[in-house]
């Protein structure tokens, strides 16, 4: 059988695997179920501890409402602290080792914080110190027990194929993939079976190997985008630096974390099999973009502020539409294809400010005193009013209020071919305004140096995102509009 047909067969098998999930239900539900279980244990421990203490000292049945309040407060504090350590994520929760030290340290420090809050709020009258002591030592026993039972249940579900990870992809060569057993995968990221994509054999012709690897990684990219995968694992020999760099370069446009697993030789040197119950070191070769929680917060703000902005600017947008219609023939709204999050294309909305409507393989950027700009368009562009329809893109989820500015597809493809880091801009949603625009990097990009500076600023924003940074950018955007720097 030829190499080409062999690779085609592999790709067909991969497509079949990606379209027919082999697991009963996704692991995505685990991070929601586990905190609820811990909250139930803490709440039940608080109530049981209070009732047991009061009855043991001969007091009547206490009012359980204060105990419920203390239990809920303790649950919130404990869960928030443990969530920050990826404690409830599926990989850690499915590993066999019970995190005894982490649980005890977090709980006992949570208890101290709770006692301090109770002192400040003076709730000791309704909740006795004896009941708190019983609760203080009863809850960790319950938390450790539930964690152990959870791991047993998850291990059984994984072994039966009832649960698995659909958000992880593993790319590797034939020998390394074959050497990884289900136990190894469980130790790495808490799953006995995941989505595997095997690269061509080392003894293939170099040119055919490169072509085959490119086709397979393109299939990986399509799979990641279709299934919203969050992580890519590389199972490659550490000595094959050329192939590692090749794969890294091919996946850099995907907004996922990428880790290089220890190869067979490293695992043998580190006595991996006897330490499979411990945390396993993997080298992070690509950082993940914003976490799920951060994207959720950013999306909520986009919807809330975007809706307010639409209501506030609606009269101005109506007047602008009328002015464009009276200024000359042509549509009010200019539509153009752009690349958004994860490289997905969308149609951006702007008020039409030119006599042309370019949206193809050749798009000429606007320049100072550009003859194509209409009289009303010049006013709209100088005040950035032409960008207001993009509020609709924000509400539709295609853009964010703050993020790297999207470029026309023709420019995107060109910039990506000359700048190795350009693809990282697609790790977040594009924005109406961004850190680059607030620092003067807006408008025309006549040279490679101009676009390189813009990309540098955009990547700084992605790597340093915070809610406060977005607020700063919104404030700076207001003053940047007043300055009208590079607005033409």
Q: What is the pLDDT of residues 263-311, one digit of tens each?
A: 877 777 765 543 344 445 678 888 777 776 678 788 999 999 999 999 9
Residues 6+ apart with CB under 8 A from 321: 332, 351
Statement: residue 312 has pLDDT above 90: yes
Q: What mean pLDDT do residues 462-486 have? A: 85
Statement: residue 204 has pLDDT above 80: no
Statement: residue 43 has pLDDT above 70: yes
User: Is there a contact between 283 and 260 (Cβ–Cβ < 8 Å)?
Assistant: yes
Distance CA 341, CA 255 (A): 8
pLDDT of residue 270: 62
Q: What mean pLDDT do residues 65-85 have? A: 85
pTM: 0.60
Tell me the pLDDT band of 23, cut-offs 50, 70 and 90: very low
User: Is there a contact between 166 and 21 (Cβ–Cβ < 8 Å)?
Assistant: yes
pLDDT digits (tens, 9 = 90+) for 76-102: 889 888 876 778 877 677 777 888 999
Q: For residue 323, how many other CB atoms are within 10 A of its CB?
A: 17
User: Is there a contact between 109 and 118 (Cβ–Cβ < 8 Å)?
Assistant: no
Q: Of 145-159, 351-365, 411-425, 430-444, give the lowest mean pLDDT range.
A: 351-365
β pairing state of 431-433 and 400-402: parallel
Q: Which two tokens stand for residue 286?
A: 């690509």
Q: For residue 328, how many other CB atoms are within 10 A of its CB?
A: 12
Distance CA 351, CA 317 (A): 9
- Nearest CA to 176 among 247, 117, 114? 247
User: What residues does 233 pair with on adjacent strands?
Assistant: 170, 259
pLDDT of residue 123: 54
Q: What mean pLDDT do residues 306-332 have? A: 92
Q: Which two tokens stand for residue 114?
A: 């709770």
- For the chain, give every domain's residue range: 3-21+166-286, 29-159, 292-483
Q: Which residues of 410-435 are buried (b: 16+ CB within 10 A; e: fewer)?
A: bbbeebbeebeebbbbbbbbbbbbbb
Distance CA 200, CA 210 (A): 9
Distance CA 79, CA 87 (A): 9
Tell me the pLDDT band of 118, cut-offs 50, 70 and 90: low
Distance CA 142, CA 159 (A): 26
Q: Chain-wide mean pLDDT for the chain?
A: 80
Pick 260 or 25 by higher pLDDT. Answer: 260
pLDDT of residue 15: 39
Q: Of 14-18, 354-358, 461-465, give the lowest mean pLDDT range.
A: 14-18
pLDDT of residue 346: 93
Distance CA 87, CA 77 (A): 14
Q: Helix 3-19 vs helix 206-227: angle between axes, to the nearest 10 degrees?
A: 10
User: Is there a contact between 459 and 465 (Cβ–Cβ < 8 Å)?
Assistant: no
Statement: residue 19 has pLDDT above 60: no
Q: Which two tokens stand for residue 207?
A: 């040119």
Q: Of 101-105, 260-264, 376-380, give the lowest mean pLDDT range.
A: 260-264
Statement: residue 25 has pLDDT above 60: no
Residues 6+ apart with CB under 8 A from 223: 14, 18, 169, 195, 197, 229
Q: Is 257 helix (H, G, I), strand (E, B) or coil?
A: strand
Rg of the Cα atoms in the chain: 28
Q: What mean pLDDT do residues 435-451 have? A: 79
Statement: residue 140 has pLDDT above 80: yes
CATH of domain 3-21+166-286: 3.40.1360
């Amino acid at each position: 059988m030829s190499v080409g047909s062999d690779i085609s067969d592999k790709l067909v098998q991969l497509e079949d695997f990606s379209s027919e999930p082999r697991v009963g239900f996704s692991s995505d539900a685990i991070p929601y179920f586990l905190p609820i279980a811990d909250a139930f244990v803490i709440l039940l421990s608080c109530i049981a501890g209070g009732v047991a203490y009061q009855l043991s000292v001969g007091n009547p049945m206490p009012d359980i409402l204060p105990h419920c309040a203390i239990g809920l407060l303790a649950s919130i504090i404990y869960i928030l602290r443990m969530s920050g350590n990826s404690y409830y994520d599926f990989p850690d929760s499915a590993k066999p080792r019970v995190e005894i030290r982490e649980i005890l340290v977090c709980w006992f420090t949570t208890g101290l914080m709770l006692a301090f809050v109770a002192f400040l709020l003076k709730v000791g009258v309704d909740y006795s110190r004896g009941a708190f002591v019983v609760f203080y030592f009863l809850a960790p026993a319950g938390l450790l027990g539930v964690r152990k039972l959870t791991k047993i249940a998850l291990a059984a579900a994984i072994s039966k194929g009832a649960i698995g990870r659909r958000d992880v992809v593993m790319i590797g060569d034939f020998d390394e993939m074959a050497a990884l057993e289900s136990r190894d995968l469980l130790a790495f990221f808490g799953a006995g079976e995941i989505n595997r994509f095997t690269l061509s054999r080392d003894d293939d012709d170099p040119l055919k190997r490169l072509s085959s690897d490119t086709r397979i990684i393109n299939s990986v990219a399509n799979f990641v985008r279709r299934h919203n995968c969050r992580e890519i694992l590389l199972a490659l020999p550490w000595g094959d630096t050329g192939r590692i760099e090749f794969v890294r370069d091919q996946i850099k446009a995907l907004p996922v974390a990428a880790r290089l697993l220890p190869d067979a030789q490293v695992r043998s040197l580190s006595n991996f099999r006897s330490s499979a119950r411990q945390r396993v070191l993997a080298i992070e070769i690509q950082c993940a973009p914003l976490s799920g929680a951060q994207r959720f917060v950013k999306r909520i703000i986009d919807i809330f502020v975007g809706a307010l902005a639409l209501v506030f600017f609606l009269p101005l947008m109506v007047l602008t539409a009328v002015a464009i219609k009276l200024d000359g023939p042509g549509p009010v709204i200019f539509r153009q294809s752009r690349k958004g999050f994860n490289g997905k294309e969308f149609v951006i909305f702007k008020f039409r400010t030119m006599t042309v409507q370019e949206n193809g393989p050749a798009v000429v950027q606007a320049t100072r005193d550009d003859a194509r700009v209409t009289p009303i368009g010049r006013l709209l562009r100088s005040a950035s009013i032409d960008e207001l329809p993009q509020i609709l893109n924000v509400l539709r989820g295609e853009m964010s209020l703050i993020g790297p500015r999207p470029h026309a597809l023709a420019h995107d493809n060109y910039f990506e071919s000359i700048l190795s880091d350009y693809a990282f801009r697609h790790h977040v949603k594009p924005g109406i305004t961004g850190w680059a625009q607030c620092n003067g990097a807006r408008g025309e990009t006549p040279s490679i140096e101009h676009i390189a500076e813009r990309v540098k600023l955009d990547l700084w924003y992605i790597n340093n995102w915070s809610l406060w940074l977005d607020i700063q950018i919104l404030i700076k955007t207001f003053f940047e509009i007043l300055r009208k720097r590079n607005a033409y």
